[in-house]
Amino acid sequence: MNIITFDTEEWYTEFNGLQRKEEYALFDEKLDQILERLDRNKTKGTFFCVGQLAVHFPEVVKKIQRNGHEIGCHSNVHEWLNKMTYEECLADTKSAVDAIEQCAGVKVLSYRAPAFSIGKKNQWAFDILAECGIERDSSVFPAARDFGGFSDFGQQKPCVIHHNGITIKEFPIPMTTVLGKKVAYSGGGYFRFFPLGFVHNTMNKADYSMAYFHIRDLLVESNHVLSKEKYEEYFKEEGTLKARYIRYFKSSVGKNQAMSKLLKLIDLVDFINLSEADGIMDWNNAPIVKLLG
């Protein structure tokens, strides 16, 4: 089972920032290339959209939907859930789901938190997702990472979460081991860093893989080290020089080849979306993860 997903917020975050029209055109161009290649391979993906994308750029959401892809939710304004209170997260999720459903005219059943920001300390977020009608989630990063992670989650394959009387189907990000360290090879900076052959071979050996991409990660652009103020405004933590240079490296590595690698991967792998994966899963025999607290 190979699932392909896209976290889709770039138009809104640019709108909420510098509002450079040339950036919108670049996002449109990359999206069109992705949609064309998916269509050529008769592949349907899941595009997790922020709620405010549906408000300010409804044509982007509708274009994705017209091409037959699943529209999921990626929060309302791309704030990390582990930086929110319960009440803030509930309001954010309700607003996001409502905006996307009003735009797309379909029920939103799939969700991914920005930066995989559901972990042990805010696992109450699953209760909120269930309350908002979400049936399947893909927010669990089952390893330590810079900004959270859920290292003691215990599963790297589709499973059913039980928490406070609710159940939700979870599609965690699968890991592989490199030099003794668990890494998420199939998306983000790791996908850009590793050779395409390594990614493809690792997927071939696995029963389950989850590819995940951001449009901005596929652009060839000149990044720069964030100022301390900008870093702390976005990441909500101390912007030390070390932290800012690590973030600069992770956001820059492999960008020149990223788009061509993605298009080749779509040609090489038979991908499905989360909705299709949900339909073929034997949930009666899926692992159960009981979260306490």
Would residue 249 count as lying in a domain?
Answer: no
Evaluate whether residue 263 is within a structural domain.
Answer: yes
Structural domain that includes position 143: 2-222+254-290
237: in domain: no
Q: How far apart are CA 248 and CA 186, in angstroms?
A: 20
Burial level of 154, CB count in 10 A (0-12/13-18/19+)? middle
* Residue 88 DSSP label: H
Helix or strand or coil: residue 197? Answer: helix
pLDDT at 180: 87
* CATH number for 162: 3.20.20.370
pLDDT band at 156 (very low <50, low <70, confident <90, very high): very high
Confidence of residue 226 (pLDDT cuts 50, 70, 90): low
pLDDT the model gives residue 244: 63
Q: Is residue 50 part of a domain?
A: yes
Q: Is residue 12 part of a domain?
A: yes
pLDDT band at 222 (very low <50, low <70, confident <90, very high): low
Q: What mean pLDDT is predicted for residues 236-249? A: 63
Report residue 150 as tokens.
Answer: 């859920």
- Does residue 50 contact residue 22 with C-beta atoms inside 8 Å? no
Coil vs helix vs strand at 177: strand
Average pLDDT over every residue of 26-32 = 97
Give the whole-angstrom CA distance, residue 44 versus residue 35. 9
Only one residue has tokens 């073929």, namely 280
**Sequence-ordered list of residues with C-beta below 8 angstroms from that of 161, at least 6 positions apart, any chain:** 126, 137, 167, 168, 169, 170, 289, 291
For residue 182, name the pLDDT band (cuts at 50, 70, 90). Answer: confident
DSSP string covering 239-286, please?
--HHHHHHHHHHHHTTHHHHHHHHHHHHHHS--B-HHHHHHH--GGGS
Across residues 173-177, what is the average pLDDT?
A: 94
Q: Does residue 40 lie in a domain region?
A: yes
Q: Residue 227: which pLDDT band, with cuts at 50, 70 and 90?
A: confident
**Calpha distance 288→159 (Å, rounded):** 6
Report the distance separating Cα 112 and Cα 175, nearest Å.
17
* Residue 232 pLDDT: 65
- Regarding pTM above 0.85, the answer is yes
Give CA separation, 46 vs 49, 69, 202, in Å. 9, 6, 21
Cβ atoms of 114 and 9 within 8 Å: the answer is yes
Tokens encoding 89:
């997260």
77 DSSP 8-state letter: S
> What's the total number of domains in the chain?
1
C-alpha distances in Å from residue 274, one per residue of 29, 120, 199 = 25, 24, 20
Q: Is residue 162 part of a domain?
A: yes
Poorest-confidence range of 164-168, 187-191, 214-218, 236-240?
236-240
Average pLDDT score over residue span 195-212: 96
Per-residue pLDDT band at 225 (split at 50, 70, 90): low
Residue 146, pLDDT above cutoff 80: no
Only one residue has tokens 């189907």, namely 169
The predicted structure's pLDDT at residue 255 = 77
Mean pLDDT of 145-153: 83
Question: pLDDT tens digit string along 79-124?
Answer: 999 999 999 999 999 999 999 999 999 999 999 999 999 999 999 9
Which pLDDT value is given to residue 238?
A: 79
For the ranges 82-91, 204-213, 236-245, 257-266, the lowest mean pLDDT is seen at 236-245
DSSP state of 143: S
- Whether 227 is in a domain gets the answer no
- Residue 278 pLDDT more than 90? yes
